[in-house]
Chains A and B, each alone.
Chain A
Amino acid sequence: MILGLDVGGTRTDAVVISEKGVVSLSKTPTTEDLLGTIENVLREALVGIDPTQMERAVFSTTLATNAVVQDRLEPTGVFVMAGPGIDPLAFEVGPSYHLIEGILDHQGFEVRPVNRREVEEKIRVLKAQGIDLLAVVGKFSPRNPEHEQTVYEISKGSFGYITLGHRFSGVLNFPRRIATAYLNSALYPVQKRFVESLERILTSKNIHCAKFLLKPDGGTYKLERSVDLGVAAAQSGPAASVMGAICLDGCKGTSLVMDIGGTTTDMAVVVDGTPLLTPIGAQIGPYKTLIRSLLSRSVGIGGDSSIVVEGGLMRIGPTRHGPPMAFGGQYPTPTDAMVALGLLNEGNASKAHIAMKRLGEALGIADIREVSLRVLKTMAGLIKTYALQFIEEINSRPVYTIHEVLYEKRLEPDSLVIIGGPAAQLAVYLSEVFGLPYRVPKLADVANAVGAAVSKVTAEVSVYADTQKGALVIPELEYQERIPYTFREEEALEKGREALLRLAAYLGAEEGQEIQITERQIFNMVRGFYRTGQNMRIKLGLKPGILSSMEVLR
């Protein structure tokens, strides 16, 4: 049996899944008290379940996002080594941000060394401010982690926790590296407390299996590893829904997955069961990060969006002014239209009729049915407009090779997979405006918790090898090696594969997960009409996917 639990903005869902399918599910409103909410939903979900039979438990939470948004980050110092370029003060984060000496160029060659005395001085400044958390980030540190490591060696005795920038990703983006490392340190105490409390709760409920957190890329990693890498679990909500849709539906072909909620609709594209990822990383509150993430788009239109009529035109969303009128609210909403049409047998039907009547008056339509249909069609039309924009943006992503310009196919969804509360009620209207077939998987309203439960571990490593310089770096593993001029691409791949397997095991991956090469660029380095070496950039990863044993749910 496995447990999946997804804490959403308004609702928390849990499912227990066995070989027979979903054997238990529960939903509860999300409250301020995250752990309390988790306890509540677990209590209900575990009724009639033998917790000792649990083999896996996965959690998708809003912990990190809320800590960022609610400004509950711990004071964290940041040491930045920048070199020439944009003024590094533009990337300032946290209460104590310091520029220190140490410059690397784009190939990782040292231009200026770290100044030990200066670092020691800055440490004293931070300690005087009572700061116990640190992030150390250098420009181009994925090309050469040595400067960050040197600062770490000098600082490690003075801080409770230190994050080094190069550990997150081989992707080059200095401002994002700064933000990511900062958040990771600033979240450390929050994450640590959460993990300890969650372990306690689970132990008290007699759940002793392997525990995981969901990440925004639709992959998971072991709960205990998240203490060091808390930021990696932020923004996992959209991933939960999309992985749920993949599990419940399969998402063959090119599917546009839409999760229709109360106030928003989230969309993502899945190609043959694999979700598309963002080119760089997730945004957490105001911070753009390097945390790999599913490509998703959230638009401010959902079942509870309020509807107003302006200049004879209906406007749905983006705000929600309380619940639908059928549920005691003040403003008409699409949910009222569903109730009025008899598509939804909940709430107060006569209130829903009043809502539609009021809209009808403003629009000059007497027939309640016609008004209600108009609402749902307008909503579907709006969602389509946003979706087409989203797909167009994906198709306009720049490419850098002639091959891609000539042969890359445009992405065109061939079906809709619709999940979330009002999925069943809206699907037919969406299908009509899109002109595409639709599927609403069973359990569509708890797809998010299912998605958390069934997602496999993901990991990614980057190999950067420069045979002219004679260096190989795998930043995610702090791995560095001298290589000879004759070092070959196959050897670089092998180094990457070994590193990935090590990282995967550390994060809790099952053995035998499929390895995917996501980038493989080999450049001849030419100096003065001679080949002087090779520059290799290889990325390998475990791609997001669902446990093979969970295909029973389809």
Chain B
Amino acid sequence: MKLKAKRRMGLVFFPAFDWAISPTHPEREERLLYTQDQVMEEGLLDVDGIVEYKVRPATYEDIRRVHFCVPDESSVTTESHLISAGGCLVAADAVLKKEVESAFALVRPPGHHSMRVVHGNRGFCNINIEAIMVEYIRRVYGIKRLAIVDTDCHHGDGTQDIYWHDPDVLFISLHQDGRTLYPGSGFVEEAGGPNAYGSTVNIPLPPRTGEEGFLYVMEELVLPLLERFEPELIINSAGQDNHYKDPITNMNFSARGYAKLSSILKPHIAVLEGGYSVEDALPYVNLGIIMAMAGLDFQYVAEPNYKEEYKPQSLDVTNYIKELVKGLRYRFLEGGLKKRTYKDGEIITRARNIYYDTDGIHERQLERIRFCQSCKGAISIDSSSSLGQHVLCVHIPKDACNRCRETAMDWFHEGKRRSYTHLYLQDRDQDLYLSV
């Protein structure tokens, strides 16, 4: 018998064996070492239809489609971040050039806690590798509507922030309830900005959610949402810290569960995010995801002591999740979500404090968005940090209407007269980026 992938899949493996946040940080050189051992030992790369790709670094131009890096890209990124993001671009190319049906960017460091404005490292992330990939895909391949399903145990607050005002990206995050885990956000009420209300869906799961709960949420909520949104492409932020062995979270998911989730979700591109049980979980979870994406039978994939270790989900967790899903279905599938209405052209503001846990930076943001019935709306962010930066970031969306473009330009010129340390203009319609 010769193994053959039912679905041709691409693997971009970049373990960054020479990079760590600090010598004893969980985001360390060793993180994907045992995953590599398991993947190699299984002989997965000899399987007909599994193709390994070589990474390439992303460019600052790729980053500027997504982020405002303060003061600039070189100050907040290292080569490792560029290569990790570049690995996602390689995965995207492989899929969109139709060399493979799906691809998995098994890369580090991760990115889903990085927001639109970047002052430093938050939750082990500097730049948002999925968002950089999404904007690259939109620019190079002309794709408009995408869905990002974030299955990392932590709320994908960075990705949520970047697509908060974008009705063409459906962002769904399944995560451990923010009342019990970093970053403390991702509640059901967070559903998107005024121009994109309803395109952000948060599913905060109770601690100890098991295989049953995750798969229930997928079947009953995530798949129907995807079906209704009809994205051209599905991306999975495939964090692996929901695993029952993960040292920094409290969930109860398993390798086979992750494999099943992947086989149900069928993402076009999966991107590794968190997951810090480097010996006991990652080797098996990654094996399961690769096999599921390739359409191989994963019934024998399991942690070596799964039978002894795994405890099925308790009844109260099951009941809690059923109620949660019921509420979310009502809001997002059955018309229960009540949009606030604004006057066309109304400027809506939002003030926020953002904390960069890894780097200890405090950021204060004042955001303005133009409520617009013709486009995604102009955005400006006045951001000041405890490092002494005070910057203005102006964003013109793709297919911006004239009024929004004028508003954005007015904000930008007005900013020049004030005493910002830096001014940025990100024109997504013209694919331009200006830093003053």
Contact = CB atoms under 8 A, between A and B. Distances in A.
Given A87-B297, A174-B42, 19 more contacts: A84-B301, A84-B302, A85-B38, A85-B287, A86-B42, A87-B300, A91-B43, A106-B34, A107-B34, A398-B13, A398-B54, A400-B16, A401-B17, A402-B18, A405-B83, A406-B79, A523-B30, A524-B29, A529-B24
Q: What 10 pairs across the A-B complex have the smallest Cβ distances?
A: A175-B43, A172-B41, A111-B304, A172-B40, A106-B37, A401-B18, A523-B30, A398-B54, A84-B302, A401-B17
Contacts of B33: 523, 535
Interface string A263-291: 00000000000000000000000001000
Interface residues of A, number: 44
Interface in B1-33: 1-3, 13-19, 23-26, 28-30, 33
Contacts of B23: 524, 526, 531
18 contacts: A84-B300, A84-B306, A86-B3, A86-B300, A105-B304, A106-B34, A172-B37, A173-B41, A173-B46, A174-B42, A176-B46, A399-B54, A400-B14, A405-B57, A521-B17, A526-B23, A526-B26, A529-B26
B73 interface: no
Contacts of A397: 54
Given A85-B42, A139-B41, A398-B13, A111 B18 contact: no
Nearest to B34: A106
B54 A524 contact: no
A552 to B, nearest CB: 42
The interface size bin for chain B is: 35 or more
Contact of B83 (A86, A172, A402): A402
Contacts of A87: 297, 299-300
B13 A400 contact: yes
B419 interface: no
Contacts of B24: 524, 526, 529-531
Nearest to A468: B279
A107 B279 contact: yes
Interface string A69-98: 000000000000001111111111000000
Nearest to A279: B45
Interface SS of B by simple majority: loop
Contacts, number: 125
Contacts of B40: 171-173
B283 interface: yes
B139 to A, nearest CB: 23
Contacts of A403: 18
A396 B54 CA distance: 6
B100 interface: no
A401 B16 CA distance: 5
Contact of A535 (B18, B30, B83): B30
Nearest to B3: A90
B393 interface: no
A402 B16 CA distance: 6
B325 interface: no
A400 B80 CA distance: 11
A288 B54 contact: no
Nearest to B53: A398
Contacts of A157: none
B74 to A, nearest CB: 15
B15 A400 contact: yes
Interface string A168-180: 0001111110000
B296 interface: yes
Contacts of B291: 86
A351 B2 CA distance: 47
Contacts of A526: 23-26, 28, 30
A528 B247 contact: yes
A83 B46 contact: no
Contacts of B80: 402
Looking at A402, A403, A535, which has the most chain B CB atoms within 10 Å of its CB? Answer: A402
B179 to A, nearest CB: 24
Contacts of A174: 41-43
B191 interface: no
B284 interface: yes
Contacts of A530: 24
Given A106-B41, A400-B14, A402-B19, A523 B29 contact: yes
Contacts of B16: 400-402
A364 B41 CA distance: 56
Contact of B36 (A176, A400, A405, A524): A400
A106 B283 contact: yes
Contacts of B300: 84-88
Contacts of B283: 106
A89 B43 contact: no
A140 interface: yes
A524 B34 contact: no
Contacts of B305: 111
B52 A398 contact: yes
A406 B247 CA distance: 33
A472 interface: no
Contacts of A85: 38, 41-42, 287, 300-301
B363 interface: no
A525 interface: yes
Contacts of B150: none
A398 B55 contact: yes
A103 interface: yes
A528 B305 CA distance: 21
B17 A525 contact: no
Contacts of B241: none
A84 B304 contact: yes
A315 B411 CA distance: 65
B303 interface: yes
B57 to A, nearest CB: 6
A80 to B, nearest CB: 13
A535 B26 CA distance: 16
